[in-house]
Amino acid sequence: MMSLPEKTRLLDSLFADCRLLPLLNIERLADVLPLADALSAGGVTTLEITLRTPLGIDAIALLRAERPALTIGAGTVLDASQFAAVQAAGAAFVVTPGCTEELLEAGRDGLIPLLPGIATASELMQGYRLGYRRFKLFPAEIAGGVGLIKAFAGPFRDAAFCPTGGVTADNLGAYLAQPNVMAVGGSWIAPPQLIAAERWQDITALAKAAVAAG
């Protein structure tokens, strides 16, 4: 079992080459492989499949079986039972919208890294006390955006963040310019309307543009 420092290093390695994390809500299982291929063709190979739809766990398992070269994380994980389920499905990491003691313990004791969601310094300190140093900032823009990330850099010098929520192509560069931003997450790279319309080439173009901005 990996220690939390080892899990921190693993998370850093996952985003060393591309600091983008598209959030994908799967409405049709048939979309999973062409969507992943479209993103991969654009240079984005680390994906977050959320549990916002009932197909999330099936989509993770399918990608692990059919696209083993991609790194697949699980998002919108709300409790320890979901953590266990996505870990069993083959997720490489877990992302949560907030942090609870139950989830922080699951991430500490689990086999894969957890990126706990925080929106305040107090929430950050809850995870920090247990040894967490990488966090999802959600909802980033509402919580304070780039200004909050800059403020966190003072008291939490070894913490880094993946801002999600309100991140767009227009403000992507401002987030990525912050030295304590490990990655940036969002759905603008693969908007639901493009997925629904199966406009895979357009998604590839958006992925390429995001990679170029990074």
Catalytic option among 6, 66, 136, 208: 136
> CA-CA-CA-CA torsion for 42, 76, 151, 212, nearest 10 degrees?
0
Catalytic option among 6, 7, 27, 48: 48
DSSP 3-state of 126? helix
Active site residue 48: yes
Q: Before 68, cis peptide (omega within 30)?
A: no
pTM summary value:
0.96
pLDDT digits over 10-50, tens only? 999 999 989 999 999 999 999 999 999 999 999 999 999 99
pLDDT of residue 118: 98
In angstroms, the first-to-last Cα distance of the chain is 33
pLDDT of residue 107: 98
Which CATH fold would you assign to the domain 4-207? TIM Barrel (3.20.20)
Q: Would you list the domain boundaries of the chain?
A: 4-207
